Amino acid sequence: MKKKIAYLGTGTWAVALASLLAERNTVIMWGRNEEMISHLKEHKSHPKLPGFCLPDSVTYTTDFEEAVKDAQIIVESVSSSGIRPVFQKLKDVRKTFCPIVITSKGIEQNTGLLLFEVVSEIIGEENKKFIGCLSGPSHAEEVIKRLPTSIVSAAFDKEIALLIKTIFSNEKVRIYPNLDINGVCFGGAMKNIIAIACGISDGLGFGDNTKAAIMTRGLHEIRKLSASKNAQPETLNGLSGLGDLCVTCLSTHSRNYRFGNLIAEGLSPQEAKNVIGMVVEGMYSCVSALQLGKKHNIPVPITEVIHGILYEGKNPQDAVKLLLSREIKEEHL
């Protein structure tokens, strides 16, 4: 039986996932940008995903209440900074809740909360059983072409994790349930910071050896800091950790990697962000991750270097040299 799914967000990832959901359900996409909603209504495609049309079972609206009314499942793909106001709006218009799927990846600044924790705080501890997430190595450009993809669903409640698996899976998309929602979401947030570092490294011409070192030490940094969020370290060796790190650091589809490349070319962070034309989550999350590291006295050298480049005006060449001049200690995994 078809379900009514409310999709909050209209970015490329939202369009890719909505197209999956619409194979067996009716989907109503909500966005606050009237120009984007008009474009989707007219063309049934996203301007950054040319050549692909969404099915007729997807409709579009700027009316939030219309989107979420009677929805049996709510899925979000908004920015880290936008998730709190969006779910406050949801709480204001709905008195009862249904399964909620978080697909955005990030850590809220100043609070250090993962995005599912933000939602839980807003809708109440008694309703957190409805919250799940979807994360892992998955570019919208490939999912929408139905190229083989494996990702992870996580939730507080096993039934919600299995529901997410069921509604998003098809013959090309494999979804593995995992009840470590902290680890799944933390890996997805942190990998964006490391991808920016890899983009800068490649842009400066440092080569594959350097990038491999950044990725490996980046994973170590993620694992260390994950203790502050009670994540299971082994989760970060899987699809939502190492898998997502690889796809984000190695692909030109990655906006965080491309953003780093543009920084290396001499663009300012704002100029690079304007060229990308979409949210660069690593730019937001590196502030949150550095705050977490300082709060828990956990060194995060790669994150610190990226923060210095993006927010303190440090020269990328000098920042990388500083990173490489750190004292060498025995490798611990």
Phi, psi of 231, rounded to the nearest 5 degrees: -85, 155
Question: Is the pLDDT score of 333 beyond 60?
Answer: no
Within this chain, do residues 170 and 277 fall inside the same structural domain, yes or no? Answer: no
Q: What is the pLDDT of residue 327?
A: 64
Cα-trace Rg, the chain: 19
Does residue 317 fall inside a structural domain?
yes
Using CA atoms, how far apart are residues 20 and 102, in angstroms rounded to an integer?
16
d(CA 235, CA 202): 28
* 180 Cβ contact list (under 8 Å, min separation 6): 154, 231, 232, 235
Residue 332 inside a domain? The answer is no
pLDDT, tens only, 5-38: 999 999 999 999 999 999 999 999 999 999 999 9
Answer yes or no: are the C-beta atoms of 80 and 284 closer than 8 Å. yes
In this structure, are 154 and 299 located in the same domain? Answer: no
Confidence band for 317, pLDDT divided at 50, 70 and 90: confident
Do 158 and 226 lie in a common domain?
no
Q: Are residues 204 and 253 in the same domain?
A: yes
Q: What is the mean pLDDT of residues 186-215?
A: 95
Rounded mean pLDDT, 156-165: 96
Instruction: Give 269's contacts (C-beta < 8 A, 6+ positions apart).
Output: 263, 283, 310, 311
Specify whether the CB–CB gap between 2 and 25 falls below 8 A: yes
Catalytic residue among 191, 211, 229, 273: 191
| Rounded-to-10 torsion of CA 39, 45, 49, 51 | -120
Residues 143 and 42 in one domain: yes
Active site annotation includes 191: yes
pLDDT computed for residue 321 by the predictor: 74
Buried-exposed string 304-313: b where 16+ CB fall within 10 A, e elsewhere? bbbbbbbeee
Strand 26-30 with 4-8, pairing: parallel
Say yes or no to pLDDT of 271 above 60: yes
Instruction: Say which CATH number the domain at 138 has.
Output: 3.40.50.720
Whether residue 331 is contained in a domain is answered as no
Count of beta carbons in the 10 Å neighbourhood of residue 227: 12
Of 157, 182, 207, which closes a domain? 182
Looking at 182, 206, 240, which one is the last position of a domain?
182
The 8 Å CB, 24+ separation contacts for 66-69 are 66/28, 66/30, 67/6, 67/7, 67/8, 67/28, 67/29, 67/30, 68/6, 68/8, 68/30, 68/93, 68/94, 69/93
The residue out of 164, 182, 200 marking a domain boundary is 182
Helix axis angle, 207-226 to 281-296, nearest 10°: 50
**173 with 302, same domain?**
no
Q: What is the pLDDT of residues 92-102, one digit of tens each?
A: 998 888 999 99
82 and 197 co-located in one domain: no
Clarify whether residues 90 and 109 are in a common domain: yes
pLDDT tens digits for range 211-245: 999 999 999 999 999 999 999 999 999 999 999 99
State the Cα torsion 258-195-197-115 to the nearest 10°.
110
CATH of the domain at 317: 1.10.1040.10
- Residue 138 domain-assigned? yes
Q: Domain count for the chain, please give it.
A: 2
| Residues spanned by the domain of 294 | 187-324
Domain shared by 228 and 89, yes or no: no
270 Cβ neighbours under 8 A, 6+ residues apart = none
pTM of this structure: 0.94
**∠ Cα 263 269 274 (to 5°):** 100
